[in-house]
Amino acid sequence: MYFSISKLDNGSITSPKGFLAGGVHAGLRYAKKDLGMIYSQVPATAVAVHTLNQFIAAPNQVTKQSIAVEQKIQAVVTNSACANACTGSRGMEDALTMRRLAAEKFGIPEHYVAVASTGVIGEFLDMEKIRQGIAAVVVEATQEGAKGYEKAIMTTDLIEKYTGYEAEIDGVKVTMGGCCKGSGMIHPNMATMLGYITTDALVDSDALKKVFSLITDLSFNQITVDGETSTNDMVLLLANGMAGNEILSEDHPQWPVFASMLTQTAQDLAKAIARDGEGATKLIEVHVKGAATDQAARILSKQIVGSSLVKTAVYGNDANWGRIVSAAGHANVPLDTTKVDVMIGDTVMLKNSEVVPFDEEIAKAYLQGEVVRIEVDFHMGDGSATAWGCDLTYKYVEINASYRS
């Protein structure tokens, strides 16, 4: 089936109809914006994925409770600087208070509010500053509103991360936008990562939940910066139906259009996080093919891109393919080690597990680029997957050695 999806030049969470956003400096950080809100003019069908860390933060628990009532969310409140994680009963009370204050601001039921936090673990929120910040936020259906929110959710991020797409479905324009934050403690299922995707499409809730779970495994769960999984990870998808299309489900003839938009949006955001890894200078993309299954390929690709030795070799412009096969070899996946191919860029280094002579200078020149692509073919089946990560630099140690200071 042919269909056309267009990427928006400045796509964001306010690109779809009916979504507004904004951010303020509430004083949780020294100077930068640190509290943001998203608002939909009508309740939106909501699905979310959360951290698998057993120490799940209070705001995540509250958001789960909210979605469980009707699977509807109309407002989101997020703070940076303090994760409100490992904060016991007071942390839960504070997260519930954030939810209540946001609900009162917009005159909506409390369970229509999602709450998120990011920052230092084990510290309590300054609730007076939270209260003042929620009151001060002005949400707008503008690029400025989206930008304010993007800045408010950042911690060690160097850049705002956003994207957007549009397509025609049922003869009307359907739009999708997204933003996220994440730079360190990134090894999703999920990580110190918050992601938000908005769309004005009308979508069946069960179909939305199913496709979002699948696409998360092909995007956010295929990135790694440092192998650390945080307490606060969440990706939230809101679909408010204001585009005016017929309800989308897996039986709809244009369901693949929506699924493709969602895949591209999620992968854009995931790659932006990997590219902005703390101290990173390069994005690493590992493509595995010929694995026994897609699941095996996902495990292998993430094992390779997450290897500290692979990451440091890329940083050092060293075409050390031995580190690639070594990383694959200790993944929890059975392999036939007699017929493996390895390429870095266009340079073949291993063919059927036999060494192929290559020009070191050409390989080094390729590794000096901002994007490094590694391809490994295991010749065992039709399984394939891609994972994204970044190089490991001296700057990463510097940033994390002084995170609280």
Residue 214 reports pLDDT greater than 70: yes
Instruction: Give the type of residue at 129.
Output: K
Average pLDDT over residues 128-139: 98
Average pLDDT over residues 8-31: 96
What distance separates the 2 farthest-apart alpha carbons in the chain?
68
User: What does the block give as tokens for 340?
Assistant: 């493996």
User: What does the block give as tokens for 2?
Assistant: 């042919």
Contact indicator for 62, 115 with CB cutoff of 8 Å = yes
Residue 226 reports pLDDT greater than 60: no
Q: Are strands 72-79 and 113-117 parallel, antiparallel or unpaired?
A: parallel
The domain spans of the chain are: 5-275, 283-401
CATH topology of domain 283-401: Ubiquitin-like (UB roll) (3.10.20)
Contact indicator for 199, 238 with CB cutoff of 8 Å = yes
Mean pLDDT of the chain: 91
pLDDT class of 400 with cuts at 50, 70, 90: low
Residue 26 reports pLDDT greater than 90: yes
What's the CA gap between 395 and 243, in Å, rounded? 45
Contact indicator for 314, 351 with CB cutoff of 8 Å = no
Query: Catalytic residues, which ones?
Result: 192
Instruction: Give the type of residue at 331.
Output: A
CATH topology of domain 5-275: L-amino peptidase D-ALA esterase/amidase (3.60.70)
Compute φ and ψ for 37, nearest 5 degrees. -140, 145
Q: Which residues is 385 bridged to in the sheet?
A: 288
List pLDDT tens digits, range 277-295.
Answer: 666 788 899 999 999 999 9
Average pLDDT over residues 24-48: 96
pLDDT class of 402 with cuts at 50, 70, 90: low
Contact indicator for 43, 195 with CB cutoff of 8 Å = no
Query: So what's the pLDDT on residue 53?
Result: 79
Give residues with Cβ within 8 angstroms of 405, minimum separation 6: none
Average pLDDT over residues 237-261: 97
Query: So what's the pLDDT on residue 187?
Result: 41
Look up residue 247 and give its DSSP letter. P
400: Cα separation from own chain's centroid: 21
* 178-192, 225-239, 255-269: range with lowest mean pLDDT: 178-192
How many helices and strands in the chain, by DSSP H and E? 11, 15
List pLDDT tens digits, range 99-123.
Answer: 999 999 999 999 999 999 998 889 9
Compute φ and ψ for 214, nearest 5 degrees. -65, -45
Residue with tokens 């699905």: 47
Residue 379 reports pLDDT greater than 80: yes
C-alpha distances in Å from residue 3, one per residue of 168, 246, 259, 261, 264: 9, 17, 12, 11, 14
